[in-house]
């Protein structure tokens, strides 16, 4: 038998609130939602469009203008 005072989801929610704080949770949820939306759009993109999206992600992620240190 399983004897627990709190179910596992409640414990995990409490742990997340303690770690991140209540003020940062909406921002974290928003960024996770954006990431999931981008991931789904990349999965649904046609095969010919993958090269353009790869080039776009490289230019966006390259903050120093291509110079390596």
Give pLDDT, residue 46. Answer: 75
Residue bearing tokens 């203008």: 65
pLDDT one-digit tens code per residue, 4-44: 666 888 888 888 888 888 888 899 889 999 999 999 999 98
Report in angstroms the alpha-carbon separations of 17 from 3, 21, 25. 24, 5, 7
pTM above 0.85, yes or no: no
Cα–Cα distance between 51 and 60 in angstroms, integer? Answer: 14
pLDDT at 48: 61
Average pLDDT, integer, range 38-58: 70
Return the pLDDT at 69: 43
């Amino acid at each position: 038998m399983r004897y627990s005072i709190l179910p596992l989801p409640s414990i995990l929610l409490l742990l997340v609130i303690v770690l991140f704080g209540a003020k940062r949770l909406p921002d974290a949820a928003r960024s996770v939602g954006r990431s999931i939306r981008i991931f789904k759009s990349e999965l649904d993109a046609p095969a010919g469009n993958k090269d353009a999206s790869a080039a776009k992600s490289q230019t966006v992620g390259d903050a120093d203008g291509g110079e390596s240190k």
